Amino acid sequence: MQDFNMQDFKEAFLEFAIRQQVLLFGEFKTKAGRLSPYFFNAGLFNDGASLKQLGEFYAKAINGSGIAFDGLFGPAYKGIPLAASVAIAFAADGRNLPYSYNRKEAKDHGERGHIVGAGLSGRILIVDDVISAGTSVRESVELIRAAGATPCGVAIALDRMERGQGSLSAVQEVSRDYGLPVVSIVNLNGLADYLAGKPEWSDTLSAIERYRGQYGVGG
């Protein structure tokens, strides 16, 4: 894995996401009906080279978090290639980890059941793109516990740091409800800091600051 200090690491990730058009600026309606000045779609990390690099960014953030874990779990569907890319990144760095994912509907033939890949055991780290309503995390926690393993944290690409239904963000709600640490490659503060250093993005930064003033939470 490339060696960055944390500030350079976050900037490198944002430049990567912008270059891949995964992170877009403009006006986008969120699931909550809010008009957001930015949009992040991890599904557009859609080729081998970008997935390889993305897995390395996740692995760097996970290593920096200090979370102890034995295996990786990717919630269907977006979490599946993400967990695989993280497993590959760790393997390239000398740590061979099992990974698993779920299917939406159980099969009654072949490998059967909801879980595909390695058996779930020990401390399991959930890998996803973002946390919006926390639904996929809740389902993942239930599946991991039902298998007799222990969910130990969640790794995401971007923490939007905005309120859910109450005063907390979706990430803060997950931490509160499940006692799980959540590590992100970058959060909204990091994005704002990145844009602040680039005069050509001043209008975008102003729009993000207005949005954060309306919907943001501390982090």
Place of tokens 């207005």: 210
Judge residue 48's burial from the number of C-beta atoms within 10 Å of its C-beta, 0-12 exposed, 13-18 middle, 19 or more buried.
exposed
> Active site residue: 29, 104, 107, 198, which one?
107
Any catalytic annotation for residue 107?
yes
Any catalytic annotation for residue 114?
no
How many Å apart are CA 144 and CA 103, to the nearest integer?
13
Cα angle value 99/12/62 (rounded, 5°):
30
DSSP character at residue 200: G
Q: Are 157 and 104 in contact (CB under 8 A)?
A: no
> Active site residue: 10, 29, 109, 114, which one?
109
Region of 109 please: left (phi>0), alpha (psi -120 to 50) or beta: beta
Q: Are 50 and 57 in contact (CB under 8 A)?
A: no
Judge residue 166's burial from the number of C-beta atoms within 10 Å of its C-beta, 0-12 exposed, 13-18 middle, 19 or more buried.
exposed
The kind and range of the H/E element at 26 are strand 23-29
Going across the sheet that includes 113-117, the strands are 113-117, 99-107, 71-74, 123-127, 150-159, 182-187
Positions annotated as catalytic residues are 107, 109
